[in-house]
Amino acid sequence: MALLTLGLNHTTAPVELREQVAFDAQRLPDALAELIKGFPGVRESAILSTCNRTELFLAIDGEGEPEVVQWLANYHSVEADALAPHIYSFKHLKAAQHMMRVASGLDSLVLGEPQILGQFKDAIRTARDALTCGTELEQAFSKVLSVAKRVRTETAIGRNPVSVAYASVNLASRIFSDLASCKVVLVGAGETIQLVAEHLNGQGVRGTDVVNRTLANAEILAASIDGYAWPLTELGDRIQHADIVIASTGASVPVLGKGLVERAQKVRRHKPMFMVDLAVPRDIEPEVGEIDSVYLYTVDDLQAVVEEGLEQRQEAARHAEALIREALDDWQREIRGYRAVDTIKQLRDGTQDLSEQELARALKALESGKPAPDVLTQLSRNLTNKFLHAPTVALRSAAEQGDLSLLDATHRLFSIDETEDSD
């Protein structure tokens, strides 16, 4: 069997197409089973489907590729001709290398992002539950997860911020030793604030207040993080309890002024307040930064942190690529070793047959009354002749034809010294 990976991602296809070929989690087991039933050459299947990629991991018979792209198009009611130019495919070790890079976060939109490893594990779990994951894929997944774990533990691929949302949370964690105990207010409910909320949630922050001009949008975000939604008119009251305030509304004028923050700090008795303004134009008046107990950062302040983090992640990525190459080299050696298994088995079986034949002949000779020393001497001579007959004929023929490679291989195989051979 051969390992085959094919799919599309954020680098090969626009978001509109990625959305069309995304798999619904509830229907995924049926899709996996359909792959196995629809293609006799497909023995095992798993599917990874996220907002940025859809990939099929298959174990197939032979070298030919099944018409899986056509199946993918039909399944999602997409024109195959429109889908095909955006599809990439890899086989054998190239497929394994791609899977390792995906699981390690090296192929992600955000270099080193950690969520992909969990999504990869979910894809494996679904395939196992659907009974479409067999020996070939299990072996591949074991290698992939092993190297992904090494990348996470032996490199700094996920330790440095590469987005302003992540940088905000990372910076807050430097100021507050325990983020989970902090009261957080998020101002806005757009994409940037959603990312901030996800990072905070990942740090164990609960009960976050989401304040937004449109309350319905705040309610949707708050529900996803087990938080609370408030209209913008409640902002002044909310920040009176806030250790951390992060804003990104897209408003044309600041929504947080110096006076509002000063009143909140009086109520808070001037406990430290960490504030981040991710909006352009600004959501927080610059003068807020003049308040002694307030630490105010803008998107420009965080950009330097992001650039530094990206540089460090790129260095970590080079280390990660080296770990993947090392893992692939080890795997290739294993595969080469597997190729010798059948040959070794045939050699042992053939030798065993010859041994049993000669042993039966020797036992008959002993039963007929022949002297044991004579029988054993003949047994030894016969075994030697039988074992070496085919190799001897092949070596002599190769030498006569000027093919010395077989002679050299024999020297290596049986540790024959060149001087012994020449004597």
Please identify every residue annotated as catalytic: 51
Range list of β-strands (E), 50-156:
53-60, 88-91
Q: Give the integer Cα–Cα distance in Å for 419 and 323.
A: 43
Task: List all residues 6 or more positions away from 171 whose beta carbon is below 8 Å from its beta carbon.
Answer: 161, 274, 276, 297, 302, 305
Task: List all residues 6 or more positions away from 328 whose beta carbon is below 8 Å from its beta carbon.
Answer: 93, 96, 97, 100
In order of 69, 117, 159, the CA distances from 309 in angstroms are 38, 20, 8
What is the helix, strand, coil percentage profile of the chain, to 5?
60, 15, 25
Pairing of the two strands 184-187 and 209-212 = parallel
- The partner residues of 209 in beta bridges, in order of sequence, read 185, 228
Tell me if 188 sits within 8 A of 356, measured CB to CB: no
Which two three-digit tokens encode residue 215? 């309350």
DSSP 21: T
Closest CA to 161 of 277, 313, 52: 313
Strands ordered across the beta sheet of 2-9: 42-49, 53-60, 2-9, 88-91
* Three-class SS state of 187: strand
